[in-house]
Structure formats: C-alpha cells, structure tokens
Amino acid sequence: MIERVISGGQTGVDQAAWRAARAAGIATGGWMPRGFATETGPRPEFAALYGAVEHASADYAERTIANVRSADGTLVFAGDRPGPGTALTIAACHEAGVPILVLHPDRLSGDAAPEHVAAWIAAHGLRTLNVAGERESTMPGLGARIEAYLLRLFRLINRGN
C-alpha cells in the first residue's frame, strides 16, 4: 500500500504525481532544488501544498538522487529518449538497487495498465513511491495524461487495501 508519493516538483510528471496523490488521499512530499526551482520559476508554495522540502543544493541532480534514496521504489514515465533528469533517475535507481519501473507515457495499456503497476507495487511492498519523468515542456500535455493515469492507479491501490 502506498502511504506517500514523492517527486522533485518539476512540471509534467512530478507535479502530476502530487496532484493525483492528493486527489486520492495519499500524503505527498519530496526534495526540490534550492529555491523550490522549476522550469517555470520558483514554487515555494509547494512546501505547504505538497510537503516539498528545499534541498541545500540548487542542482537538480542532487534532489533527484535524494528522492531516489528517500523512496522504497520509483515509477518513471519516459519517452523514447529520456531527458537528462529522467536518465539520471533511472541510473540512480539502478546504482542504489531501488526497484524501478519505467513506463512510456504513450503506451499505458497492456503490461503498463494500472492493474499491472499496482501488482508491481504490491510485489515490492512499496510504501513510499517516487514518481519521476519528463518535463511538460518536452512533452506538452504530459502532466494531464499522467495525472489521470496515476489517479486511476492510486484509487485502485486504495480500493485494494
């Protein structure tokens, strides 16, 4: 059962994860770069709204690694050519030995359907889930699609517990 969803607060997947988790009644949090930086500017309100914590470093990579280490597992939404932050998340999970599932945002059915992802989460006993992926600017419309997908996933998980 997922008790907490964390992310780095970037536009796109990260913010979608927080919105979906809150809508499903799941606690949120995660590390953001110093100044609560996002590609659209600082978002200090995310501290109160989502429990985001400001990292001492302004480097996105530092907060990415902190989030990987703070979670029991990571769910990544990545296109055919993951951006540098997404690629770092994947590498950090492998290096830390953290369970990771990478889904293509345009292929969220079949083995990537919410039921299968819920089974993966249960099989790994994940309680704190890090959700990461592409920025909104690299895949316009991504945030809304991932938010809808994650809301289905989180409601399915909540119903099963």
The pLDDT-based confidence of 160 (bands split at 50, 70, 90) is low
Task: Please report, for the domain that includes residue 26, its CATH number.
Answer: 3.40.50.450
E strand or H helix at 132, and its extent? strand 128-133
> What does pLDDT average to over the chain?
97
pLDDT digits (tens, 9 = 90+) for 80-130: 999 999 999 999 999 999 999 999 999 999 999 999 999 999 999 999 999
Domain count, the chain: 1
Q: Domain range for residue 40? A: 4-159
Query: Structure pTM?
Result: 0.96
The pLDDT-based confidence of 63 (bands split at 50, 70, 90) is very high
